[in-house]
Amino acid sequence: MEPFGDVVVLVPGIGGSTLERDGRTVWGVNPLAALRARTGLALAGDGTSEEAGTSATAVLKGAAGLPGIALLDLYGRTETALCTGLGLERGLNYQEFPYDWRLDNRVAARRLAAEAPQWLHRWRSHSGNTAARLVLVGHSMGGLVARYAVEVLGLWQHTAAVVTIGTPHRGTPKAARTLAHGLPGLGLASRLTEALRSMPSVHQLLPVYPCVTVPGARAPLRLTALPEEAALAGLRPAAVRAGEAFLREIQWAATVNRSTPAYRRQDVATYAVAGVRQSTVGMLEWTGGALRPHAEQPAGIGDGDGTVPHPPAYPIEWDTAPAGRSARVAGRHTTLAAATATLDQVVWWLRRGPDLRVYRGAGGSHADRAAGPGPRTALALDCPEIVEGDVLEFSAHVAHGPDVPLVASVRPADGSAPLLPPTVLPHGHAVLPRPAPGWHRVTVAAADGSAEPLSDLVLVLPDA
């Protein structure tokens, strides 16, 4: 394999980095420990600067994320696929960027803009490739950190490409719903809600497009135009406006950059992978003093990866998604960055340059294609993020392609004995006894292997 000449940097999503404070783990592989700690996740300050004594030490390679906002899983698989597919050397031209994901994303972007050129300089010296540049691969919120560093802070001067995977470039209504009304249940879920409301980063995930229907309004409204009582539900107007300002700053900078001769000569390629075929809340309605998922999700906007609707997963300055730099993959947000279809597409782009069309493998376009020859089959999975009751209930179906039997499994994310070994899923629905507290991975696959398996995470909370 021909060596890859550039430096690839993986930027994880929200909740995807281990946080330590004064030598003690604040956030890591055990989210329940963090939630039990009274002084754990919530920010004491305004989040616009690094928190004294707190540092991000590593990217989490397994189950991670914040219920109600975004879950993340299998970054270890992402790392392996990128290093293998591109021939990268860990610690040299493959780097990972853990960061304190609770803070204003500008804080992480400033550090990325300072550290990434140092990695590039070391790689140029090591490899002798003085023409090497940076390639930033950001999943979920990590894509926003990468784009702010490139477009706003000038990292484009050292960058060949930015790849975003399931990134909420225009925000996601899921974040608005969680901030407004919290997570279901009391106890630890309530404590997590309080922590989320203290984080500027979460407010920077709020949707900036008109996504809320209000009785008497002729058209959907933006969150910034909601009635004053919305503030009582947890959506503080100043924080909502600040969140939108962050996304608009990226939009403005990207638009200006593209009219700048020096930027055009650098020819920074922006790619975006959007998850599709999963039921996703793209519109809300304000009724009875509450934000609820709209009873009828419009075609297109109600399709996505289960967290980010399909259209908002493309860069905010794009009017349309260019065929050569965008791809649709049937997958869940949690594992989109580890999906075979996603990783094959990313490697294809980076190996062949920005002028190539979307990769077409044995099964056709990577949008909904099977992992191998045969008919293109896409699966959809629907499972809760938090379990507090007596049962775990989930469902799955074939979202595209010929109907085939589905096989499901449920096992703890730590790899211990499964709650449900691979079993044919009758009628696409399962009800299981409540698992032990902690992360559990729900996986569904086509019995005949005609579709790439889908998996997602469920966090089981202990009894109150």
Q: Which helix (H) or strand (E) holds 108?
A: helix 105-127
Residues 215-257 have pLDDT tens digits of 888 999 999 988 777 766 678 899 999 999 999 999 999 999 9
| pLDDT at position 213 over 70 | yes
Amino acid 360: pLDDT: 36
User: pTM of whole model > 0.85?
Assistant: yes
All domains in the chain, ordered by first residue: 7-171+245-365 (3.40.50.1820), 378-460 (2.60.40.10)
User: And the tokens for 276?
Assistant: 């599709």
> Distance from CA of residue 286 to its chain's centroid?
26
- Contact between 229 and 285 (Cβ < 8 Å): no
Taking the C-alpha atoms of residue 317 and residue 270, their distance in angstroms, rounded to an integer, is 11
- Contact between 125 and 119 (Cβ < 8 Å): no
Taking the C-alpha atoms of residue 9 and residue 165, their distance in angstroms, rounded to an integer, is 13
Amino acid 464: pLDDT: 61
- What count of Cα atoms within 13 Å lies in the side-chain half-sphere of residue 204? 28
Q: Average the pLDDT over 97-109 and give the result.
A: 98
Work out the pLDDT band at 408, boundaries 50, 70, 90: very high
User: And the tokens for 221?
Assistant: 């409204």
| pLDDT at position 94 over 60 | yes
In the sheet that holds 438-446, the strands lie side by side as: 386-387, 454-460, 438-446, 406-412, 420-424
Residue with the two structure tokens 């998850």: 275
Taking the C-alpha atoms of residue 272 and residue 274, their distance in angstroms, rounded to an integer, is 6
Q: Average the pLDDT over 441-452 and give the result.
A: 94
Residue 430 or residue 322, greater confidence: 430
- Contact between 72 and 334 (Cβ < 8 Å): yes
Residues 178-199 have pLDDT tens digits of 998 888 765 667 888 889 999 9
Residues 358-375 have pLDDT tens digits of 433 323 343 433 333 334
Mean pLDDT of the chain: 90
The contacts of residue 369 (CB under 8 Å, 6+ apart) are 341, 361, 363, 376
- Contact between 330 and 379 (Cβ < 8 Å): yes
Residues 107-158 have pLDDT tens digits of 999 999 999 999 999 999 999 999 999 999 999 999 999 999 999 999 999 9
Length of the chain in residues, anyone?
464
